[in-house]
């Protein structure tokens, strides 16, 4: 019964998300473009799929995954588990949090793989590149970036070092990479930063940030709990650019080799 109520609540919320888009497209079709829409029936059926699909997806997440993710974040940051039974545990020592970094990295990776907006962008990238960019290659590269970013973000919360230092260092790396990376992949790499953090990743990562900053002595959840999302949207840019550089390096090496042998 609760599930049914949840479903309709989410349906209402998703409809509200879709409403501005429907109004905007309706206005432009009727007032500005004034031409029949090709495949209108197909688009309408597809929109219904989006509405119902997203609603089921979100209802399921809120019912199953988010509570579990939050419970796990709480349990993992609980001093009993961190101490692993031993009485003496220095909670200010960053080395006490091994499981947290592993959890941050793996859950960041896993939620990014399931992120619908990343699936959409990877699909388009493969289509546009004529298959040169593989969907799974891009998604796994981005997910590795998020995994690294979130565990580094967890490290930052534990050590209490200022956020902007990390972000600035990350920007520096991106700027340097931009000069050396193949031009065609740069826009896609920049985009992959923004798409990683939506429906699936944000709630679990936010719970991890808040739980962790509450557990570490001297951290304020209101200030230190933020910033994990920023990490998750910066590091995929670095990994995608690095992937592009590696691919370019490998292909030029493959081109050079036969020439040398001659």
Partner 1 sequence: MKMAPFLLNSKTISFVLGKLRQSATDLLPIVLVIAFFQLVVIRQPLPQLGEMLFGALLVLIGLSMFIQGLEMALFPIGENMAYALSRKGSLFWLMLFAFSLGFSTTVAEPALIAIAKEAAQIAMEGGLLADDPKTMASYAFGLRMTVAFSVGFAILLGVLRILLNWPIHYLIIGGYILVMLITTIAPAEIVGIAYDAGGVTTSTITVPLVTALGVGLATVIRGRNPLLDGFGLIAFASLLPMMFVMGYGVVVFGI
Q: Which of the residues 3 through 42 are near partner 1 (CB under 8 A)?
A: 3, 13, 16-18, 20-21, 23-25, 28, 32-33, 35, 37-39, 41-42
Cβ nearer to partner 1, comparing 91 with 114: 114
- The distance of closest approach from Cβ of residue 252 to partner 1 in the complex, given in angstroms and rounded to an integer, is 19
Give the count of beta carbons closer than 10 Å to the beta carbon of residue 22.
11
Contact letters for partner 1, residues 156-195 (x by CB under 8 A):
-------xx--xx--x--xx--x----xxxxxx-xx-xxx
**Distance (Å, rounded) from C-alpha 132 to C-alpha 97?**
40
CA distances from 203 to 33, 65, 208, 210 (A): 39, 10, 9, 11
What's the token pair of residue 127? Answer: 């289509």
Which parts of 85-104 interact with partner 1 (CB under 8 A)? Answer: 99, 103
Site residue total, partner 1 (CB under 8 A): 101
Closest CA to 235 of 160, 150, 119: 150
Residue among 12, 15, 26, 43 that touches partner 1 (CB under 8 A): 43
Q: Does 241 bind partner 1 (CB under 8 A)?
A: no
3-state class (DSSP) for residue 223: helix
CB 77 within 8 A of CB 212: yes
Q: How far apart are CA 138 and CA 193, in angstroms?
A: 12
Q: Which of 94, 101, 109, 148 binds partner 1 (CB under 8 A)?
A: 109
Q: Judged by CB under 8 A, which of 49, 180, 249, 256 binds partner 1?
A: 49
> Taking the chain, what is the end-to-end CA distance rounded to the nearest angstrom?
74
Closer residue to partner 1 (CB): 1 or 258: 1
Among 202, 214, 242, 247, binds partner 1 (CB under 8 A): 202
CB 97 within 8 A of CB 158: yes
Question: Which residue is it, tokens 């292909």?
Answer: 251
Binding marks (x or -) toward partner 1, 131..160, rule CB under 8 A?
A: ------------------------------
- Tell me which stretch binds partner 1 (CB under 8 A): 70-78, 86-94, 244-252, 253-261: 70-78
Does 79 bind partner 1 (CB under 8 A)? Our answer is: no
Q: Residue 152 is encoded by which pair of tokens?
A: 């580094």
* 75 lies in the binding site for partner 1 (CB under 8 A): yes
From residue 161, alpha-carbon distances to 20, 155, 167, 205 in Å are 41, 9, 12, 19
Structure tokens that stand for 55 in this block:
């609603």
**Per CB under 8 A, 116 contacts partner 1:** yes
Please tell me whether residue 214 binds partner 1 under the rule CB under 8 A: no
- Rounded to whole angstroms, the Cα distance separating 106 from 147 reads 6
Closer residue to partner 1 (CB): 81 or 256: 81
């Amino acid at each position: 019964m609760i599930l049914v109520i949840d479903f309709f609540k989410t349906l209402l919320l998703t409809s509200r998300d879709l409403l501005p888009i429907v109004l905007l497209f309706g206005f432009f079709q009727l007032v500005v473009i004034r031409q029949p829409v090709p495949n209108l029936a197909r688009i309408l059926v597809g929109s219904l799929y989006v509405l119902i699909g997203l609603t089921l997806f979100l209802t399921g997440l809120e019912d199953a995954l988010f509570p579990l993710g939050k419970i796990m974040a709480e349990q993992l940051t609980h001093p009993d588990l961190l101490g692993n039974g031993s009485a003496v545990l220095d909670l200010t020592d960053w080395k006490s949090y091994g499981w947290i970094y592993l959890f941050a990295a793996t859950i960041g990776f896993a939620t990014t793989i399931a992120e619908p907006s990343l699936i959409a962008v990877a699909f388009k990238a493969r289509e546009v590149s004529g298959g040169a960019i593989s969907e799974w290659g891009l998604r796994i590269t981005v997910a590795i970036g998020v995994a690294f970013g979130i565990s580094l973000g967890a490290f930052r919360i534990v050590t209490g070092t200022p956020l902007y230092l990390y972000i600035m260092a990350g920007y520096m790396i991106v700027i340097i990479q931009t000069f050396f990376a193949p031009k065609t992949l740069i826009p896609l790499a920049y985009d992959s930063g923004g798409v990683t953090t939506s429906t699936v990743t944000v709630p679990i990562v936010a719970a991890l940030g808040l739980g962790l900053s509450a557990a570490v002595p001297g951290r304020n959840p209101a200030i230190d709990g933020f910033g994990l999302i920023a990490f998750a949207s910066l590091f995929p840019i670095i990994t995608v650019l690095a992937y592009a550089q590696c691919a370019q390096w490998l292909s030029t090496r493959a081109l050079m080799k036969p020439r040398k042998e001659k």
